[in-house]
């Protein structure tokens, strides 16, 4: 999961930008400079494939990357302009056994949500595409809650109008907009807490908001190991994404090692195959460093993925396969924005 708050007051700028992006998409200008980027690796990152606006959706909306229709459209775009490769292809190229095709793209998913199995997989199969799913192992086949989904569920169902935050401040709301602001604030606060403290706060939230979470709710959001094995048989590859999804710069290095190795070993045990890839939770610049990259490399991982934005040149990936960029896709992106994110122009954005 990765989540950044949108900047308020940028509406007119955004609509102008969107007009330009739509124009560039319609005219093909969006692929300007493409010829210079044939030797590239474009890694696309998804979390969930679902409709966040459907009735009864009560988990964390920003984690929805695309509706099934939009995902299908995006896969059609990849067919047209990219050569989709597997992790195995990328590793063989890193080892010098083979070349990557021009305009190579790798499709990845984080966390291990059930809709990867029910919604994304049939569309991937239709396109004959491989994909790589990073699993947070303590959440596969268990009822453990990700704090963002716990927050979304509780704020969706509460009838209360205020919440006392762990720092003692009392936050009130009187409409839906304010409620989602407080919810976002709570999630941001959780990110900053040490892992053990975070777990305590997550457990307390339903009580504080007078909400009772049905048993098995979080378990049903995620895949179980049988489904993971079924996908494996169908050509989907898996990587590690820690056991409990802590931000690795916020825990001791010994714990980092335990989270990386623990998740890797668990998937290897369940699938009977070496696990050679890893995705950093949250994946921003502040969420990894050289020492963490070294721990990941020492564990036997061969390629590790961030959420630093944009496609990479092949030279960059070879130089450091432990901080590979990925393009975060949101359900808010139109197909034109999706195309813009995948274009080399995206590397000139400020982040």
Binding site for Zn ion (CB under 5 A): 1, 110-111
Q: Dihedral angle at the C-alpha atoms of 14, 33, 93, 304, nearest 10 degrees? A: -20
145 versus 345: smaller Cβ distance to Zn ion: 145
In the complex, what is the shortest distance from the CB of residue 244 to Zn ion, in angstroms, rounded to a whole number? 11
202 versus 209: smaller Cβ distance to Zn ion: 202
110 versus 293: smaller Cβ distance to Zn ion: 110
- Residue 315 pairs in a beta bridge with none
In the complex, what is the shortest distance from the CB of residue 239 to Zn ion, in angstroms, rounded to a whole number? 11
244 versus 333: smaller Cβ distance to Zn ion: 244
148 versus 173: smaller Cβ distance to Zn ion: 148
Among 148, 135, 119, 282, smallest CA distance to 218 is for 148
In the complex, what is the shortest distance from the CB of residue 241 to Zn ion, in angstroms, rounded to a whole number? 6
In the complex, what is the shortest distance from the CB of residue 343 to Zn ion, in angstroms, rounded to a whole number? 25
User: What gap in Å lies between CA 78 and CA 42, rounded to an integer?
Assistant: 10
In the complex, what is the shortest distance from the CB of residue 79 to Zn ion, in angstroms, rounded to a whole number? 27
1 versus 345: smaller Cβ distance to Zn ion: 1
């Amino acid at each position: 999961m990765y989540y950044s708050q949108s900047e308020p007051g940028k509406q007119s700028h955004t609509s102008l930008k969107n007009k330009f992006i739509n124009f560039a998409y319609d005219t093909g200008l969006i692929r300007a400079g493409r010829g210079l980027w044939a030797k590239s690796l474009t890694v696309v990152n998804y979390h969930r494939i679902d409709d966040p606006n459907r009735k009864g959706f009560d988990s964390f909306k920003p984690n929805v990357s695309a509706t099934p229709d939009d995902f299908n459209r995006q896969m059609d775009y990849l067919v047209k302009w990219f050569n989709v490769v597997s992790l195995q292809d990328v590793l063989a190229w890193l080892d010098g056994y083979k070349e990557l095709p021009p305009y190579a793209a790798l499709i990845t998913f984080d966390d291990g949500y059930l809709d990867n199995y029910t919604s994304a997989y049939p569309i991937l199969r239709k396109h004959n595409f491989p994909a790589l799913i990073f699993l947070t192992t303590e959440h596969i086949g268990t009822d453990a809650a990700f704090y963002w989904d716990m927050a979304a569920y509780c704020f969706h169902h509460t009838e209360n109008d205020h919440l006392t935050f762990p720092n003692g401040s009392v936050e009130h709301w009187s409409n839906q907009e304010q409620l989602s602001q407080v919810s976002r604030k709570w999630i941001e606060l959780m990110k900053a807490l040490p892992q053990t403290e975070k777990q305590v706060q997550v457990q307390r939230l339903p009580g504080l908001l007078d909400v009772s979470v049905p048993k098995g709710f979080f378990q049903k959001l995620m895949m179980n190991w049988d489904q993971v094995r079924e996908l494996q048989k169908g050509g989907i590859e898996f990587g590690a994404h820690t056991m409990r999804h802590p931000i690795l710069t916020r825990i001791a290095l010994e714990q980092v090692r335990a989270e990386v190795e623990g998740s890797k070993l668990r998937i290897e045990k369940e699938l009977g195959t070496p696990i050679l890839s890893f995705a950093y939770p949250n994946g921003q610049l502040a969420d990894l460093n050289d020492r963490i990259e070294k721990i990941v490399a020492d564990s036997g991982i061969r390629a590790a993925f961030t959420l630093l934005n944009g496609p990479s040149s092949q030279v960059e990936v070879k130089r450091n396969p432990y901080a590979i960029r990925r393009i975060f896709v949101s359900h808010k992106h139109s197909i034109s924005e999706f195309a813009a994110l995948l274009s080399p122009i995206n590397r000139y954005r400020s982040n």
